[in-house]
Amino acid sequence: MPTENTPLLQDQENQDSQAQPSIPPSSQSQNVPSQPHSTFARRLTATSAFTLLISIIIGSGIFSSPGPIDANVPSPGAALLTWLVGGIVAWTGALTMAELGTLFPGPGGIQPYLSHMYGEVFGFLAAWSWVVATMPATLAILSVAFVESVYSSLGVNDAAPGVVHKLWGLLVVGTVTVLNSISTRTSTRLGSFFVGVKFLSVFLLIVAGVAAVGVFVTRGRDLGGGDWHQRGWFEKRETVLPDGGTIRWEEVGVWESLGFYSTALYGALWAYSGWDKANYVAAELKNPRKQLPLAINTAIPTIIVCYVAANAVYYVLLPWKVVSITDAAAVTAVTHFLGKTVAYIATFLICLVIAGSALGNSFVAGRMTVAAANKGWIPAVFGTVGQIGPFKISHHLRSSKDASNADASSASSPTLIDQSDDDTSDEDALDRGDSPINALLLNFLLSAIYILLFPMRTLLTLNGLAEYFFFFLTVLGAIVLRFREPDLERPVKPSIVVPGVFCVISGFVVVRGAVGEVLQAGVLVGVWALGGVWWAVRGRRGRD
């Protein structure tokens, strides 16, 4: 049985050491038993990974990004191509991650990849950045988007939301944290429910667009915005901005136009954010080498189709000059098409979609924090399950059979679950105390700080810079490994063009973001500097 402080994903990669390249050992490995057991067994399926990807990726982006994207491109057709290109970037990145995920099976996402490619300090910095910046900022953005969607439906559109808005955002993050703290079964079941809501919302939106087109074709009556059948979809138009200004695209030069397009692509990449997250549960998949690429190659194309179709509907239902100035395209479109009463229902569904995305991101954030703790990169207390601080709790009452066979003293003491027991069923394992509560609480506290201190648009840039800097390094490293270690077994091996495309685009996005958004880049550098100090202190303590 595991001890009181058994980590959630303790040194899982050692189980596959005979079939994969070695990864630089952590300082914690000296204290790990020779045959460690993970509290998580390989019980999840490709459907689970598919569900997780859908749940995480389809969030606020499809409803909040259309306006910023449309405002930075010369035509609706260009906007749809931007959504397509963003999806291709996500797909190429995810396929490269699948190559690395099957090459380096185990928990931790890109951190072990970076450790193998560049040294452990890079894996640490990526983990530190994700735990301290990326995931808390993501949850902060989603919580604010949830609250602002509700306020927008009520006719409240403050440019600078007040304290009350932020407090409601804290409540959203707190609720998601509590739900993910109950058990893995609760998280996965809620995830499946929210996936249904997401598809329902997008489906109803597409049905509305098809209905509008059908009525116009059969009866000649336009229920939409009118521009979709009167103007060319790739014809340059004058774009109206939220501040009342305009962009005359005939006067925009090539270099300036490239800047606008990159800004638009950035909005699309936010909407596709989360494409890498399937790798974080690779250690829990029954057969990750087959199931991981299967989940990616079904989930992401599905999302691309949904995104492009949904945005085409916006251009059918709304006058084109309206799309560029709204931050709630779906609510605005439904209101224009069916009236304000139905818009309330649409807002309710959209809020459920955002909540599902927040739930999935919180679920993953807990696993990422645990993986970092198990490597000794952050305090070990964040690598435990079924505990609040150092104290154990029970999530699951044992069955009557278990209780009758246990003595009174052991039955009264809650224990962590050892899924290595042969008679532990999949059902019981998912219900018992397997949630990384300490990790979830840390993520909640950090998310609260970001909600209180920064506006959403600042967090969007901060999140993107933090993610794509390490994505770029990871995919570039995958290309280098093709030449440096060509004999490694690669069950998934896309064409080298795939990571190449990703590196070119992501590298440009990172450089442009760092140059154009000095404040956010400075915050991120500060986070890395703080991590460097912790790394140095940690190393000194290890030597002492």
Q: How confident is residue 185, by pLDDT bands cut at 50, 70 and 90?
A: low
Could you read off the pLDDT of 228-261 as tens digits, one per residue?
888 889 988 888 776 677 888 888 888 778 778 8
Distance CA 215, CA 222 (A): 7
Could you read off the pLDDT of 128-181 as tens digits, one per residue?
898 898 889 888 888 888 887 777 767 665 545 577 878 888 888 888 888 777
Distance CA 130, CA 137 (A): 9
pLDDT of 55 strictly over 50: yes
pLDDT of 411 strictly over 60: no
pLDDT of 190 strictly over 80: no
Quick one: 44-372+459-543 is in which CATH superfamily?
A: Amino acid/polyamine transporter I (1.20.1740.10)
The predicted structure's pLDDT at residue 414: 33
Distance CA 74, CA 231 (A): 13
Q: How confident is residue 397, by pLDDT bands cut at 50, 70 and 90?
A: very low
The residue-averaged pLDDT of 413-440 equals 49
Does the pTM exceed 0.85? no
Q: How would you classify residue 31: left for phi > 0, otherwise alpha for psi between -120 and 50, otherwise beta?
A: alpha
Q: Where are the alpha helices (DSSP H) in 375-431?
A: 400-405, 408-411, 426-431
Could you read off the pLDDT of 458-468 as tens digits, one per residue?
787 788 888 88
The predicted structure's pLDDT at residue 54: 79
Residue 543, number of CB atoms within 10 A of its CB: 7
Q: SS3 for 59?
A: coil
Distance CA 72, CA 512 (A): 15
Q: How confident is residue 500, by pLDDT bands cut at 50, 70 and 90?
A: very high
Could you read off the pLDDT of 321-345 as tens digits, one per residue?
888 877 667 777 877 777 777 778 7
Buried b (16+ CB within 10 A) or exposed e, 480-499: ebeeeeeeeebebbbeeebb
The predicted structure's pLDDT at residue 143: 85
Distance CA 481, CA 488 (A): 9
Say which DSSP state 292 is in. Answer: H
- DSSP assignments along 439-476, one per residue: HHHHHHHHHHHHHHH--HHHHHHHHHHHHHHHHHHHHH
The predicted structure's pLDDT at residue 81: 95
* Spatial contact of 371 and 380, defined as CB atoms under 8 Å apart: no
In single-letter form, the type of residue at position 151 comes to Y
Q: How confident is residue 526, by pLDDT bands cut at 50, 70 and 90?
A: very high
pLDDT of 428 strictly over 60: no
For the chain, what are the domain ranges? Answer: 44-372+459-543
Q: SS3 for 272?
A: coil
Radius of gyration, alpha carbons of the chain: 24
pLDDT of 278 strictly over 80: no
Tokens, residue 271: 């909407």
The predicted structure's pLDDT at residue 427: 41
